[in-house]
Structure 1
Amino acid sequence: MSVVTTSSATGTASAPARRDAEATKAAILRAARHLLARHAHADITLKAVADQAGVSPPLILKYFGNKDTLFSQVMSFETDAAALLDAPLADLGRHMVRHVLVSQTEQGADPLLRIVFAPLHGEQGDILRANFRTQVSDRLAARLSGPDAGLRAELAVGTLLGLGVMFGIARGTHVRATDLDDIVERYAPAVQAQLTL
């Protein structure tokens, strides 16, 4: 009885459960993003997401309710864009290139590359495209000064996605065999050229 009283009084029993719940939700979202970057939305089952995340399908239902609710969060680029654009404008091209390469290397996929598979996702692809435009391209354009900011932002992002496709999807042997710092040095100026005039 004293253990229950102590746990209730200090709140230690609920704190670990909350942390575990947040870690589990994050693992589920990572797994769903991973699958969405490789498969059509209609082909992804909750069981596949659960297997990828190392949890049970009922746990996904507990946290997200259903597949549509889960994927509405997965289709957002807010968090990914915040990480991608988290650098001063003068060094943003370098940061963006490194971010894509490190994401590919450490996570097996860059979350931004989900946009490449939008045509496979039917109506969900339209949501993915709209989110990408507003949360990534338009957000980047808002940071740029000078003429044609929207065009320049889209060209910078397109250049970046090309690298991501070659590195992570086409798995170019020369690109993958090259040191990441060397790729950043060679590629960042092409991205930066669109960001600063």
Structure 2
Amino acid sequence: MGVKSGPEMSVPPLRSQPTRDRILAAARERFGSTGYDATTIRAVADDAGVHASIVMRYYGNKEDLFAATLSIDLALPNLAALPAEERGQALVRHFLSRWEESDHNDLPALLRSAVTHDKARGVLLDIFRTQVLPAITSLTTPERALETAALIGTQILGLALTRSVLKLEPVLALPPEVIIARVGAVVQSYLDGQEN
């Protein structure tokens, strides 16, 4: 007896998916605000409105829960499609808007945790190697790509650290357009190969 042909049946989502999503959102927020060491399963459970045993049932221990929060796609824009002189500002604008969207608190969480946690540091370096470096390589010579990407990383990570993690008041007070213009100009100089 053969398999029936016809339109593909969509697989319904797990009944537990909303709870799983709520736990992951709470974990990202908690890891982002307090870091890996200070985050507890109980605190994440409280934030998600579930019992700690539910968190452990779905995600195991704290290490596994943390690992589940680290899947990050930067969704970088196609910089090569932009006029060369607009790329620095476009990159800064992209990162700034992504960090400050309420549903994308994964980057601050990763950055905060990477300072003290080897797994988070490894994920951050992997994101650099697999997402940032290829995007920059497409814009410059292979000889300059690594140095250019690293210098851009100092600006982007420094901005993220001071604005989204440390919440340094003078940086928070800067309007986004000022940050995009000024930091974007520095990033642009790295892309152009200019000395600052």
Give per-residue Cα distances to partners, 1:76-102, cap 9 Å, x unaligned.
Answer: 33x2x2x2x124333543333223333
Percentage of matched positions with identical amino acids: 26
Greater share of helix residues, 1 or 2? 1
2:90 matched residue in structure 1: 95
- Partner SS state of residue 116, structure 2: helix
- State the 1:29 CA deviation: 2.5
TM-score, with structure 2 as normaliser: 0.69
Query: Could you tell me whether the CA contact under 8 Å between 1:144 and 1:196 is conserved in 2?
Result: no
TM-score, with structure 1 as normaliser: 0.69
Q: Does 1:60 align with 2:87?
A: no
2:162 matched residue in structure 1: 166
Query: Could you tell me whether the CA contact under 8 Å between 2:36 and 2:113 is conserved in 1?
Result: no
State how far apart, in whole Å, the 2-side matches of 1:112 and 1:24 are: 22
One-letter amino acid of the structure 1 residue matched with residue 24 of structure 2: L
- State the 1:160 CA deviation: 0.9
Give per-residue Cα distances to partners, 1:92-140, cap 9 Å, x unaligned.
Answer: 433332233334444397533323542322x434533443443444343
Give the CA RMSD over aligned residues.
3.3
Instruction: Kindly tell me the number of residue pairs found equivalent between the two proteins.
Output: 179
Query: Could you tell me whether the CA contact under 8 Å between 1:27 and 1:53 is conserved in 2?
Result: yes
Query: Could you tell me whether the CA contact under 8 Å between 1:75 and 1:127 is conserved in 2?
Result: no
Stretches of structure 1 that go unaligned for 5 or more consecutive residues are 1-10
Stretches of structure 2 that go unaligned for 5 or more consecutive residues are 1-8
2:67 matched residue in structure 1: 72
One-letter amino acid of the structure 2 residue matched with residue 26 of structure 1: D
Rate the CA distance shift 1:116–1:151 in 2: closer, same or farther, 3 A. farther
2:4 matched residue in structure 1: none
2:22 matched residue in structure 1: 27
- Partner SS state of residue 98, structure 1: helix
State how far apart, in whole Å, the 2-side matches of 1:190 and 1:51 are: 43
One-letter amino acid of the structure 1 residue matched with residue 116 of structure 2: L
